[in-house]
Structure 1
């Protein structure tokens, strides 16, 4: 199915399995390196199922996981809908230009006992079979600060 026929449009190029490594830093924690697996699974509809899992690069201990959807809306914007087992949820909106998806938060939610995250920004940059991710976060008394950078390669097409 071509991009023009696919309900995903240009999101179809994200479909598949991605593996890579990243680096995390934040003023309130020690720097760390991690490995990550990301899957964008097509459904035949205008969204991809998203799943991410990370491990500490030195100890191989599980770290973070999140799941959700990357979807194209009827108006052409792209939304990233995420849920984390820490009790935190994110809804982001953005547009794609030249393989760059720059998301802006629409709504952040948290359970009563979740950590106080006040803002999150995410960017995905796709160039062929290479994907780059950056994330900024405002948490507790720390203003919006760069937190994560990772680079992935496609290991399996959808």
Structure 2
């Protein structure tokens, strides 16, 4: 995050610590697929308002083919933080959390899907700042088709700016 523009960060309060571009790698697993690895870039860009624009892009390791992307917002809603996510696979998500010691342990508030989307029934996410804000870790759990809520993704990303 460009620290020369603190006016953009002011409305974010403690959420400002998440602002920036994060890069690194992660791994995925699920009972219905083979384990896999990926490279990822997450951007959490401030606007001067009480939200961060969120964009995640993953690729096969080493700069390979694109794998997944999603966009949305990480926003303050009173004492709560909301993560709003739109996926090109036909899903929209709203998650809510309370920021505590650099951790956002989100609880799903709403998940909706287009009629042609795959049968994902639940998603849960967790963001955590590590190493005094130099790293961002996240986890994602998912309930898909007949598989109950199961851990699916884990990544640790480094602050790239």
TM-score for both structures, normalised by structure 1: 0.94
Pairing of 1:6-155 with structure 2 (within 5 A):
6-57=10-61, 60-73=64-77, 75-127=78-130, 128-155=133-160
Structure 1, unaligned runs of 5 or more: none
Q: CA offset at residue 76 of structure 1?
A: 1.2
Q: Structure 1 stretches (4+) deviating beyond 4 angstroms?
A: none
1-structure distance, mates of 2:21, 2:32: 32
Q: Is the 8 A contact 1:49 1:68 kept in 2?
A: yes
1-structure distance, mates of 2:120, 2:60: 22
The one-character-per-residue Cα deviations of 1:17-58 (angstroms, maximum 9, x if unpaired) are 000100000000010000000000000000000000000116
Structure 2, unaligned runs of 5 or more: 1-5
The one-character-per-residue Cα deviations of 1:94-116 (angstroms, maximum 9, x if unpaired) are 01110010000000010000011
Higher helix proportion: 2
2-structure distance, mates of 1:43, 1:59: 29
Root mean square deviation, CA, Å: 1.6
Q: Is the 8 A contact 2:7 2:48 kept in 1?
A: no
Q: How many residues align?
A: 154
